[in-house]
């Protein structure tokens, strides 16, 4: 049994949904009236240059793969800590990486390990060497810049996207464990099983259009 299993999540509590502009201060004050804790998880992420830069800056600065149950539990611990007079001074303004014990691996390997039991496989098509792709991205960005006065050209990929997709990132939750008492309530094995079952349901739903391969 996990920590989240102990919580009575199946309640009859009514949830009120409010839709509005997060940049509207007056609306936010009304929405937060009588609220003791606000968990803000909205963000705009764009690596292809499709969304205007100002939009990203406004939402992420002016207003602003982990199993979802683990991330949710970390938010609960953070909210409790901020309301604790003893803990609050030491965690206010801090940032925490919320991760779990998922083995370090590439997105391709992770996706394959979660979906291989249902006949899905990695794309075996050939790909260009990374240095060549990087220079091609540079040329596409140059074309986009030169055309910008008369035409808005969106390159299919750019150097930033290539760098992100070919870099190794690892994160540790030790700081959150130390300050918030965070430990992943859902183990890697349980998360893998539940996610794999979810993928199975999608495969069954869309099996007529999937490119599958029998192991």
What tens digit of pLDDT does each residue of 129-165 get? Answer: 889 999 999 999 999 999 999 998 888 888 988 888 8
- What is the phi/psi pair of residue 118, to 5°? -110, 20
Q: Looking up tokens 């979802």, which residue turns up?
A: 68
Predicted pLDDT at 56: 65
Picking from 170, 15, 33, 174, the residue whose alpha carbon sits closest to that of residue 96 is 174
pLDDT band at 2 (very low <50, low <70, confident <90, very high): very low
Query: Are 193 and 107 spatial neighbours (Cβ–Cβ below 8 Å)?
Result: no
Span 29-61, pLDDT tens digits: 888 888 888 887 767 777 666 777 666 665 554
Span 182-198, pLDDT tens digits: 999 988 888 888 888 88
Query: Are 75 and 115 spatial neighbours (Cβ–Cβ below 8 Å)?
Result: no
Predicted pLDDT at 58: 58
What's the distance, CA 83 to chain centroid? 26
- Size of the chain in residues: 215
Write out the two tokens for 195. Answer: 């996610």
pTM for this entry = 0.62
Q: Looking up tokens 């993928």, which residue turns up?
A: 199
Predicted pLDDT at 41: 74
Query: Are 171 and 97 spatial neighbours (Cβ–Cβ below 8 Å)?
Result: yes
Predicted pLDDT at 128: 83
Query: 92-112 burial, b for 16+ CB within 10 Å, e for fewer?
Result: eeeebebbbebeeeeeeebee
In this model, does residue 24 exceed pLDDT 80?
Answer: yes
> Can you tell me the distance from the alpha carbon of 23 to that of 120, in angstroms, rounded to the nearest whole number?
42
Domain boundaries, the chain: 64-211
Angle at CA of residue 67, ends 64 and 72, nearest 5°: 50
CATH topology for the 64-211 domain? Rossmann fold (3.40.50)
Span 88-114, pLDDT tens digits: 999 988 988 888 888 887 777 888 888
């Amino acid at each position: 049994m996990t920590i989240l299993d102990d919580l009575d999540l199946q309640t009859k509590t009514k949830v009120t949904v409010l839709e509005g502009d997060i940049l509207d201060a007056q609306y936010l004050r009304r929405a937060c009236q009588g609220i003791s804790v606000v968990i803000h998880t909205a963000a705009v992420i764009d690596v292809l240059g499709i969304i205007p830069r100002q939009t990203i800056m406004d939402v992420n600065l002016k207003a602003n793969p982990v199993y979802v149950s683990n991330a949710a539990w970390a938010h609960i611990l953070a909210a409790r800590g901020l309301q604790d007079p003893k803990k609050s001074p030491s965690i206010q303004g801090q940032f925490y990486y919320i991760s779990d014990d998922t083995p370090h691996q590439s997105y391709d390997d992770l996706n394959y390990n979660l979906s291989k039991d249902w006949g899905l496989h990695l794309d075996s098509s050939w790909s260009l060497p990374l240095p060549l792709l990087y220079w091609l991205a540079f040329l596409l960005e140059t074309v986009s810049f030169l055309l910008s006065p008369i035409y808005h050209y969106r390159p299919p990929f750019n150097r930033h996207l290539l760098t992100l997709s070919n870099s190794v990132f690892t994160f540790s939750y030790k700081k959150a464990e130390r300050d918030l008492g965070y430990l992943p309530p859902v183990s890697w094995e349980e998360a893998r099983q539940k996610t794999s079952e979810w993928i199975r349901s999608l495969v069954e739903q869309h099996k007529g259009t999937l490119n599958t391969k029998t192991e």
